[in-house]
């Protein structure tokens, strides 16, 4: 890090990629990669708190991930449930408020119960907002928003001619949160993978070759420093 304090993004979003490849490189089962990735979640949450970041959105389980082998899905759901049960008290102690976006009704009942409990337990906290994208896909989110708008128009509570970007964004799952300023993707992949397609329209993007289990506080700080070197024009000169 340089001696000059970097500009700090208000909202960081992360595509946590590479757990399986990290495990394969070490001759380990994929579930061990997911377990190692949970430790990086803890590090990054702590790092965001230390840096003064207000919002952190983590792509934890995509809508496409339901197509993975059942054994891996079961392992991921068990890991999610264990993470929520073990970390809820810690999040509360650290003043972290938990949120979730996605088609949460598709989660197993025990996972959904653990998630609802963690959200309720941290609801009054005022520090970092941690947003887990679970059973989430941006195209599905946009479709759901369009459906909600269409129903409002049919009901006469929304004038279609008055529809603008702010009104549309208000129907997205992310309506309570500001758009991400910085998107980080691990594992070196150069794609968005159906993640926050509307919300990251003007986000800065940082790609790291490290797999997610290798991503630690120092890597977060390096990404923030890279972000701080960029001039965000938002279409202006």
Active-site annotation, residues: 17, 65
Two structure tokens written together for 138: 């941006």
Q: Which of 153, 139, 150, 154 is nearest to 198 (CA)?
A: 139
Sheet holding 204-207, edge to edge: 97-101, 129-136, 55-62, 11-15, 182-185, 204-207
Rounded Cα distance between 186 and 16, Å, is: 6
Q: Which of 16, 9, 217 is nearest to 136 (CA)?
A: 16
Q: Which of 185, 179, 177, 66 is nearest to 128 (CA)?
A: 177
């Amino acid at each position: 890090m340089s001696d000059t304090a970097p500009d700090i993004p208000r909202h960081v979003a992360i595509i946590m990629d590479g757990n399986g490849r990290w495990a394969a490189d070490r001759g380990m089962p994929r579930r061990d990669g997911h377990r190692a990735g949970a430790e990086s979640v803890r590090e990054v949450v702590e790092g965001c708190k230390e840096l003064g970041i207000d919002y952190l959105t983590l792509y934890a389980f995509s809508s496409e991930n339901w197509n993975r082998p059942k054994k891996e899905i079961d392992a991921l759901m068990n890991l999610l449930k264990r993470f929520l049960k073990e970390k809820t008290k810690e999040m509360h102690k650290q003043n972290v408020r938990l949120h979730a976006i996605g088609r949460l009704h598709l989660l197993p009942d025990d996972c959904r119960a653990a998630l609802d409990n963690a959200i309720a337990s941290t609801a009054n906290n005022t520090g970092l907002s941690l947003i887990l994208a679970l059973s989430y896909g941006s195209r599905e989110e946009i479709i759901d928003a369009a459906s909600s708008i269409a129903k409002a128009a049919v009901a006469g509570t929304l004038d279609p001619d008055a529809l603008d970007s702010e009104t549309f964004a208000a129907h997205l799952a992310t309506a309570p949160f500001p758009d991400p300023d910085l998107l980080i993707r691990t594992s070196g992949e150069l794609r968005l993978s159906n993640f926050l397609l509307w919300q990251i329209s003007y986000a800065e993007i940082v790609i790291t070759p490290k797999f997610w289990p290798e991503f630690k506080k120092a890597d977060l700080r390096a990404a923030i420093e890279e972000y701080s070197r960029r001039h965000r024009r938002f279409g202006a000169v």
